[in-house]
Amino acid sequence: MEMLVRAAVLMSPLLFCNAFLNLTGHHKIEGVWKESTTLPCAYVPVKDFVQQILKWMVVHHQSSVTIFRRDDSGDHVLLSEYRGRVSVLKDAPGNVSLHILNLELSDKGTYICQVTWRDSNNSLVVREITTELEIIKVAATKPIIRAGELGLTVPAGARTSLTCVASGSPPISYRWFRGTPGGKALLLSSQAELVWDSLQPSDTGKYYCEAENKARAGPVQSDAVELTVTDPPITVVTSKNGAGYPEKDSATQNPPITVVTSENGVGYPEKNSTTQNVQGTHLSLFLVILIVVACTAAVLLIIFLIIRIRKPKDAQTYEVKFHNSRAAAASRCENTGYYEEPISSTENNYVMEPEKDKRSEEINMKK
């Protein structure tokens, strides 16, 4: 009987240890490729039992290799392929779960969580559990379309973009189409982002994208969105009293188009205040000046021609006197005629001198 009591006393710490120092976890965990996962391993802390060593091991080719170790000297990652990707929480008594970041296909395998305690009698107690890790690929989800900062209604000439977003195991490939899913569509791009550097009114229409990865047999399509490209801003030309009327810019049709305000300063809010179509104004002014000069020259030419054609009023005349020798001796008949010099330079140029009356001379001689 005494022997049984002694045996019970000796076995009581062991029974107590087995009752409370048990590791808990999961036998199988599925992790998503390129994402993160946690391999659970925990116990209930017991007084007089101090954790001495924690090990996480992985079984490769039927042999276990330690990838993580925690002891009095700190935490140590012993395999280079896990460095920067595995960790165990600190200051969390009883929680010794292993966190793995950016899962790789090679991370698949059997993992062992092993904890060693030291009791008050300086005895060591070791417990361990195993967890099977499977790496899976997740099919790409139905993508959504995110519009740029300007939204889906954008002015002509602006820059905008549409982005196709889907989740799932990478790599995910994207394609952009113009049209509607299930209907006639035009392939535009094989990138996640569809970009326009300068939108045109002809870009107005419906667009959709599709996403695909190796975990899915085929692509999955998004809902279509409608992009609307508005006409460029209009120019407001105001009169002196401030009343204005809209007028499209027929020169460039490219924004931005500014506002011309009235003399009293009443206008419309725009970013700039300059005059549009400066070249057109200069051209109109040049044409007006050219027409005025041409008309003036024509008037002067007509006046000059009239002066040239018109005869001079002060033309020189000559008086020619002659006598009829057959008239009676007592009476002298004197006729006077007038001769107007022709303008033509081809006429004979001569001088008419007065002729003395021969008959008077004969009478005087008889006397």
Q: Using 50, 70 and 90 to split pLDDT, how confident is the model at 215?
A: confident
Phi, psi at 13, each rounded to 5°: -60, -35
Residue 85's nearest CA partner among 73, 70, 103, 66 is: 103
- Residue 307's pLDDT is 86
Asked if residue 213 has pLDDT above 60, the reply is: yes
pLDDT digits (tens, 9 = 90+) for 131-165: 999 999 889 999 999 999 999 999 999 999 999 99
Instruction: Count how many residues are written for the chain.
Output: 367
Q: Using 50, 70 and 90 to split pLDDT, how confident is the model at 322?
A: very low
Mapped onto helix, strand or coil, the DSSP state of residue 353 is: coil
Asked if residue 303 has pLDDT above 80, the reply is: yes
Taking a C-beta distance cutoff of 8 angstroms, is the pair 148, 162 a contact?
yes
Q: Which of 244-248, 297-301, 352-356 has the highest mean pLDDT?
A: 297-301
Q: Do domains 15-136 and 144-230 have the same CATH topology?
A: yes
More confident residue, 353 or 115: 115
- Residue 311's pLDDT is 56
Domain boundaries, the chain: 15-136, 144-230, 232-283
Asked if residue 233 has pLDDT above 80, the reply is: no
Q: Using 50, 70 and 90 to split pLDDT, how confident is the model at 317?
A: very low
Task: Read off the pLDDT of each residue in 293-307 and give the average, rounded to a whole number.
Answer: 90
Q: Which class is 144-230 in CATH?
A: mainly beta
- Burial class (CB within 10 angstroms; exposed 0-12, middle 13-18, buried 19+) of 271: exposed
Taking a C-beta distance cutoff of 8 angstroms, is the pair 163, 67 a contact?
no
Q: Estimate to the nearest angstrom the gap between the alpha carbon of 50 and the chain centroid.
A: 64
Taking a C-beta distance cutoff of 8 angstroms, is the pair 135, 103 a contact?
yes
- Residue 253's pLDDT is 47
- Residue 91's pLDDT is 87
Q: Using 50, 70 and 90 to split pLDDT, how confident is the model at 319?
A: very low
- Residue 312's pLDDT is 57
As a whole-number percent, the residues of the chain with pLDDT over 70 amount to: 65
CATH number belonging to domain 15-136? 2.60.40.10
Q: In 147-253, which ranges are continuous DSSP H helix?
A: none
- Residue 145's pLDDT is 97
Task: Read off the pLDDT of each residue in 248-261 and give the average, rounded to a whole number.
Answer: 45
More confident residue, 213 or 247: 213
- Residue 280's pLDDT is 57
Tokens read off for 139: 């099919």
Task: Read off the pLDDT of each residue in 85-89 and give the average, rounded to a whole number.
Answer: 96
Q: How far apart are CA 65 and CA 110, in angstroms?
A: 11
Q: How far apart are CA 248 and CA 163, in angstroms?
A: 33
Q: Using 50, 70 and 90 to split pLDDT, how confident is the model at 95?
A: very high
Q: What is the mean pLDDT of the chain?
A: 77
CB atoms inside a 10 Å sphere around CB 201 = 12
More confident residue, 367 or 304: 304
Task: Read off the pLDDT of each residue in 23-31 and give the average, rounded to a whole number.
Answer: 94
More confident residue, 80 or 17: 80
Task: Read off the pLDDT of each residue in 41-64 and give the average, rounded to a whole number.
Answer: 92
Window from 107-116, 152-161, 213-222, 233-242 with minimum mean pLDDT: 233-242
**Cis preceding linkage at 219, omega within 30:** no
Task: Read off the pLDDT of each residue in 231-256 and give the average, rounded to a whole number.
Answer: 54
Tokens read off for 200: 């045109």
Q: How far apart are CA 64 and CA 113, in angstroms?
A: 11
Q: How far apart are CA 183 and CA 180, in angstroms?
A: 5
Tokens read off for 228: 């609307």
